[in-house]
Structure 1
């Protein structure tokens, strides 16, 4: 590959390695890059970083400018809206110049004090107590991540966990908030969460197996020299274990789930040494979740599920209600609706809040339990509405079951996040905080809209388009097309301060809501996974072609972006339609998918078989995955400029994938376009830690995008 700089792309040595499955042998000459303990691997990654630095050095000034823009628009010293929990208001603060947040609380004035203290960006609240200053905890570490941060019901104990490597394995610690004493007892190598018993005598936590799957729940007795008690273990490698509690705090819940099957176990919170019991036995292909509600002084479980009823599967989920004493006596609360994807039901003392999706947008509806006499045959839900066509809204921080008002969050592509309280009875909304955007930001300067692209099979693909007003008068324009399309994950309208640096330079931002995501319901997901996964990739390509045909942009002005499973999308698109883009940005890309999913010893692999299929045991799945897996399908063709970003300590998508992919691209690409790899040498799946470091990384990415779209010449 010819480049203008004196620094040439590192040439990875080739070491023949064969992988044979189902009679097919694949020769992988870069598999040796898997061993991060090999000094030669580290040397290679550092050489790639040097190559990337050399060929992005001309962007240093622009990077600094974008960083300054992000910083200047952000209120660095700020405070979240306090949320009441027990006898305290809990909130977070940030301070100018500090990388991490500070977690705090202050006492409530009285039991009927439900109006949060006014946000004060420049000073602590009266009576403030600092629970955890992450800046102090992060001292001396290149990376820092907070896992658990949970206070006992009586407000006297704090359990928190930290990761200073980036591998998502946390050390759990305990602090007596009454005395300020940090206990000597620590628990290493835990998963991220922690759960207090009602009497604050016990903490439940999780550990992982050799494949880094959360599989076991333990009970730790505070201040005791006894060994921790294993209270639950899931031996099936397809299932992950999680834990939590009902909002009423009356029940502890252990959730066990694969991609397509789940089961919930409950235990009365006032009986922490008792046995967890299953609410409903697991049935292959059936998912359900459980909440607790009280109606007419009787205890019920509300169960969100996708069971088969009368021969019809509730693909988009339905909701039942059942007595806690006998969960088998279920009665339908909300019926299945093929046009409405139910996502969750939150239960409060006085309200039920239904979260769902319709026409690729999130919605919520509220039922007032105070108007119900006995068990409702079908709850009377009232939908919450807003004026914007493209927006996101849902429950905010509502930790108190008995709160008299509901906290709601709202945002759109052009409107900063708002937090308000809703009086359900009157419909009155009280604004508590609007995300400050400094520098005279005006939402009226920007436009958001929805278009639909037509896929090759006739499916209509929703596109969310955001631009600065007037840019559409100057078509074609520079354009950034973003996609994900996996795990039924929905990418919803949201505001971004950093995105303004793209929009203000005339770049149009487009989200392609492709199959494999969840925007259009469970059907949308089912037709973009396993043996229909290629729909995800072709939908994105068809979206790009639509944008060109509609005059929005040209291939020379368009950049594609995606991360993690969206990085798989980027790799597949690079192989399918390299001519459509002048740049592809792939963050922590899952581009060696077949190799990973063939190896059950790797983190996530077995549970991922429900998402991608099982190529280890099924030759049809193997052949299908091999036909699209980006690494195997790199060929001698003119690839566009590509920037791959990865992290050495990522346990979800190993750095190996990006390293091998880039080595193969640099070997085979027939164009002179630069293929760049940037590896963070002390970070995990989420990249660098600390907000200023993150802004620097975002500025690096934006500068490259602006260069490849041609926007910096405008």
Structure 2
């Protein structure tokens, strides 16, 4: 690792107000013979007036320290606002005789959800041509289903969870979170009258969907650790207290989810974690609406990680499996429902897509005629499509794939209505604003009268406008490869203005995540233009623990290999300096959630390397959290980090990298920790404790600030303008540290 020169201080300590000092209340914690004294655990009790007073004092300190950045924040906010078409709309999607879409209006924080009646019965391609809607101009016959701005009036926070319309189009079920804690209250609206039904279901999770008969509703609830553990069924017109538990998951290390299959014949209930799963299916298309028994597809005891997609082939039910059995990057197979529930060694699977070491398969969906597979090749997310006719037989046709020109992009399936001849895709890149395409699989490879092909299958429906004359040719995005200290090649995405070339030693903002097999895919950002136009090079370090290079890339950055995520990030920074992209004295590191853990770890690992660090809802007290299975999601996290409660090796390993426990008497760079009081995924107490410890133990003079959104959740404040303000705060903090103001 390059030993970078000491960084100058942004301001003398005497010029700054005194930082809040949290009182110390020693609490001992002993595991596997190791005793740790935690002086700041008392900050966990958010109902304590002293805790709230401390967080308020921290916000006041942050305001004082960053007061000089206010003008820059306002400029960045205005730039985002000027480039955004505030009055806009989504591309309508057809479902059961209606076109559904959403609008945004200038000055409105939230979307307005609408529909209009569709023409034709859907039997012709022309029936799937979405209506052209002008921003701000309602369509004739437009019906407003839900106005998010009206719903948000009078509440400190508003977030929409479930949003489901019954099969006959007469009822809307929607869930609202008004606190930021990701617990939703479901209400049901009669779309014929506009009136709310008396049914109210509180404390639910995100997903809710109607039974195909439209007379009942499925939804999930979480337990005390915020783990979805029950699927319930609510019969319309009955009290929620009478709702029946349809399925339950008692294993604290398993997450429960449910959906009605695309063909509406099955209820699919899945329990799983990152390493194995179990799907249970129940028929829904009988003459009775009573819940029958469930059919297990592959028992969890077989330790197979899989998804199941029920399809109809020649009028017969079949299960399509996306599985990792002897296939680390997953494969696709076809299964007869008669084999469901047998030991996996006794089941007969027909290969559909064989395992490939260079292609990671991560999801499946279907409609009446085609199977859609999410695939990742050469780090790029794409969609592969197969005809159901002949699937799993000698007549199976090769998969097709919508083709795009850019090297670095992301293409994903938005939806495939069951009876539609078209699938909806989204496309974006670092340089291309989000596009919406309709993909017609039957036309892939067809030629027009002039002999042209390919373009027939893809119909561009919309490209998100960027106001102010955005020119993508004025920017560049490229893939580089950094060498890790153990010789592994790390993919690096470098985004810049076209006139910013290597050798100039530029200011750099380096982003990373590296957990849960989540890939940081190319995506356009209006806000990021405010960085690029100031000469900043924006870099994504695709460190191990993510999914960019397949399942092995993920597994080499989790559990007892987790440190690879941290050293990869620092090694990418060294590459940026050595290759001439980065000024070694002007590099800012940033990441959020598990990426915030990354930030805390690299702060300890290489504090002299970064001019500043911005950690958003950071998971920096990881060991304390994982050691307490009563805390939200802790038990579920054992599959990601290991179980330090029962395994002394895991405990020692985490004890060696968890940021809070490893704060050292060194000069840390300036740090901004950003959190939300009602976050249920990463409690505010983690960054609060971390900041207190950094100030107590660190020897530097750079300011360390904590900013707490008092009415927000894991995603920060609600409403697009509030989110723009959050972004402007982070960008101004980073640009000020880089000296780019």
Instruction: Provide TM-score, normalisation by structure 2.
Output: 0.93
Q: Which residue of 1 aligns with 2:366?
A: 347
Q: Which residue of 1 aligns with 2:582?
A: 553
Aligned with 2:349 (options 330, 339, 344): 330
* Counterpart-to-counterpart distance in 2, 1:206 and 1:430: 37
Aligned with 2:141 (options 118, 127, 135): 127
Aligned with 1:290 (options 298, 304, 308): 308
The answer to whether residue 54 in structure 2 is matched with residue 44 in structure 1 is: yes
Pairwise CA distance, 1:474: 6.5
Q: Which residue of 1 aligns with 2:230?
A: 216
CA contact (8 A) 2:429 2:524 kept: yes
The answer to whether residue 183 in structure 2 is matched with residue 199 in structure 1 is: no
Q: Which residue of 2 aligns with 1:419?
A: 436
Aligned residue for 1:15, secondary structure, equals coil
Q: Which residue of 1 aligns with 2:514?
A: 485
Q: Which residue of 2 aligns with 1:258?
A: 273
Q: Which residue of 2 aligns with 1:608?
A: 637
Alignment gaps of 5+ in structure 1 = 308-312
Which residues in structure 2 correspond to 1:609-624 (within 5 Å)?
Answer: 609-624=638-653
Aligned with 2:22 (options 2, 12, 21): 12
Once the two structures are superposed, residues 188-235 of structure 1 have per-residue CA deviations (whole angstroms, 9 ceiling, x without a partner) of 111111111111011011111111111011111101358111111111
Q: Which residue of 2 aligns with 1:230?
A: 245
Once the two structures are superposed, residues 525-568 of structure 1 have per-residue CA deviations (whole angstroms, 9 ceiling, x without a partner) of 11100000000000001001110111111232110000000000
CA contact (8 A) 1:483 1:540 kept: yes
Pairwise CA distance, 1:351: 1.7
* Counterpart-to-counterpart distance in 1, 2:237 and 2:436: 40
Aligned with 2:264 (options 249, 265, 271): 249
Pairwise CA distance, 1:473: 6.0
CA contact (8 A) 1:410 1:418 kept: yes
Aligned with 1:106 (options 105, 116, 119): 116
Aligned residue for 1:344, secondary structure, equals strand
CA contact (8 A) 2:86 2:104 kept: yes
Which residues in structure 2 correspond to 1:580-595 (within 5 Å)?
Answer: 580-595=609-624
Aligned residue for 1:547, secondary structure, equals helix
Pairwise CA distance, 1:32: 1.0
The answer to whether residue 282 in structure 2 is matched with residue 267 in structure 1 is: yes
Aligned with 1:165 (options 179, 195, 213): 179
* Counterpart-to-counterpart distance in 2, 1:564 and 1:324: 40
Aligned with 1:443 (options 472, 477, 498): 472
* Counterpart-to-counterpart distance in 2, 1:261 and 1:2: 54
Pairwise CA distance, 1:692: 0.5
How many residue pairs align between the two structures? 705
* Counterpart-to-counterpart distance in 2, 1:145 and 1:269: 31
The answer to whether residue 418 in structure 2 is matched with residue 401 in structure 1 is: yes
Pairwise CA distance, 1:393: 0.8
Q: Which residue of 2 aligns with 1:674?
A: 703
* Counterpart-to-counterpart distance in 2, 1:52 and 1:67: 19
CA contact (8 A) 1:334 1:379 kept: no
* Counterpart-to-counterpart distance in 2, 1:5 and 1:286: 59
Pairwise CA distance, 1:4: 3.9
* Counterpart-to-counterpart distance in 2, 1:621 and 1:376: 48
* Counterpart-to-counterpart distance in 1, 2:321 and 2:301: 15
Q: Which residue of 2 aligns with 1:310?
A: none
Once the two structures are superposed, residues 391-429 of structure 1 have per-residue CA deviations (whole angstroms, 9 ceiling, x without a partner) of 11121333x112112222111000111112222233312
Pairwise CA distance, 1:710: 2.0
Once the two structures are superposed, residues 442-487 of structure 1 have per-residue CA deviations (whole angstroms, 9 ceiling, x without a partner) of 1111000000000011000000110011011661111110000000
* Counterpart-to-counterpart distance in 2, 1:472 and 1:480: 15
CA contact (8 A) 1:599 1:605 kept: yes
Pairwise CA distance, 1:187: 1.1
* Counterpart-to-counterpart distance in 2, 1:374 and 1:544: 47
Pairwise CA distance, 1:374: 7.4
Aligned residue for 2:140, secondary structure, equals coil
- Which moved further from structure 2: 92-101 or 547-556? 547-556
Once the two structures are superposed, residues 655-684 of structure 1 have per-residue CA deviations (whole angstroms, 9 ceiling, x without a partner) of 000000000111122111111110111111
Pairwise CA distance, 1:69: 0.5
Pairwise CA distance, 1:6: 5.2
Instruction: Provide TM-score, normalisation by structure 1.
Output: 0.97
Pairwise CA distance, 1:368: 3.0
CA contact (8 A) 1:260 1:284 kept: no
Aligned with 2:715 (options 686, 690, 699): 686
- Which moved further from structure 2: 229-238 or 328-337? 328-337
CA contact (8 A) 1:333 1:377 kept: no
Alignment gaps of 5+ in structure 2 = 1-10, 341-346, 445-455
Pairwise CA distance, 1:61: 0.7
Q: Which residue of 1 aligns with 2:447?
A: none
Aligned with 1:302 (options 294, 302, 320): 320
